[in-house]
Structure 1
Amino acid sequence: MRIAIEDPDQPEIRAMLAAGEANSAALYPAESNHHLPLDALRAPGVLFHVARDAAGRALGTGAVVLKGDWAEVKRMWTDPAARGGGVAGAVLAALEAVARARGVRVLRLETGARSDAALALYRRAGFVEIGPFEGYAPDPLSVFFEKRIA
């Protein structure tokens, strides 16, 4: 598997982002979904990563949004056919590494309270629950996490 920073405006990646949004829409009401749109994923300070297999097929995505000494993890998604193969953990590790290299000391994220696999991934990776942070309101369907990386 190869993980690299890529432009999210590619047909295969747009389809993956849409699949993630559809999954969230099936689990949560619109006001509990906090996806960054494509244009925001292409903004300066956003490092969008894609995991690809040896044949070049996209397996998963994730981004870090740099905010000074902290960053937010966004758009974590693994193709359902690739789940269970360590893709999400590898993408998360790549996001952490690039954030650390850019001077980030804390990673934060929001995920859904019904997203059991995501909750388990973040807890395994050392994230701890916190309250809502910058721009988020309390929501019983959201879980907020933080991890100190420096």
Structure 2
Amino acid sequence: MTLLRTTSDHTDFQRLVLALDTYLTGVNGSDDAYYRQFNTIDALRYVVVAYVNDVPVGCGAFKPFDQQATEIKRMFVDPAHRGQGIAQAILAELEGWSHEEGYTACVLETSVKLPGAVQLYTKWGYERTPNYGQYVGMPDSICFRKSL
């Protein structure tokens, strides 16, 4: 596996995000339109794309959240490649890059409907935190925070 640091202009990232959005439409059902408005990829400067045998199989990104933290966004691994440590590698790369940029923490939001994601973040040291911003009052949202 190789990891590429890039931006949201990268076509492999854009294709993976389309697959992610299709997947999330099935998960979120009628709430999908609400969540989608917060997941645009315009002008993301910090994007990681994972490749296996030169095939793009996963992605993730972050953006500044506040002066101390970044927000992890658009984490996705193609279902055919799950269980191979790809998500962990992407997450580690995003955390390392966040730290290099001077941030001391990461936050993220995921869904109770994505138990694999919840398990990944918990295992990786993320702790539940009160829902922030647009996720306040959203019963399917779970927010996490991790100090770097």
Using the size of structure 2 for normalisation, the TM-score is: 0.88
Letter in 1 for 2:83: G
Q: Secondary structure at the match of 2:133?
A: coil
Pairwise CA distance, 1:12 = 3.5
Alpha-carbon deviations, 1:35-59, whole Å to 9, x = none?
A: 52231xx24xx30110112x32111
Q: Secondary structure at the match of 1:37?
A: coil
Choose 81-90 or 13-22, whichever is displaced more: 13-22
Question: 2-side partners of 1:109 and 1:32: how far apart?
Answer: 17
Tell me which residue corresponds to 2:55. Answer: 57
Pairwise CA distance, 1:6 = 1.8
CA separation of 1:141/1:77 partners in 2, compared to 1, >3 Å: closer, same or farther? Answer: same
CA separation of 1:70/1:96 partners in 2, compared to 1, >3 Å: closer, same or farther? Answer: same
> 2:36 aligned with 1:37, yes or no?
no
Letter in 1 for 2:2: R
> Contact 2:12/2:49 (CA < 8 Å) preserved in 1?
no
Letter in 1 for 2:41: L
Tell me which residue corresponds to 1:147. Answer: 146
Tell me which residue corresponds to 1:136. Answer: 135
Tell me which residue corresponds to 2:105. Answer: 106
Question: 1-side partners of 2:146 and 2:34: how far apart?
Answer: 22
> Contact 2:4/2:48 (CA < 8 Å) preserved in 1?
yes
Pairwise CA distance, 1:69 = 1.4
Alpha-carbon deviations, 1:79-138, whole Å to 9, x = none?
A: 111111000000000011011111111100000111011000000000010111234322
Letter in 2 for 1:96: E
Question: 1-side partners of 2:102 and 2:64: how far apart?
Answer: 10
Pairwise CA distance, 1:143 = 0.4
Unaligned runs of 5+ in 2: none
Question: 2-side partners of 1:17 and 1:123: how far apart?
Answer: 23
- Where has structure 1 moved over 6 Å in runs of 4 or more? none
| Percent of aligned positions that are identical | 26
CA RMSD between the two structures: 1.7
CA separation of 1:105/1:7 partners in 2, compared to 1, >3 Å: closer, same or farther? Answer: closer
Unaligned runs of 5+ in 1: none
Tell me which residue corresponds to 2:14. Answer: 14
CA separation of 1:8/1:56 partners in 2, compared to 1, >3 Å: closer, same or farther? Answer: farther
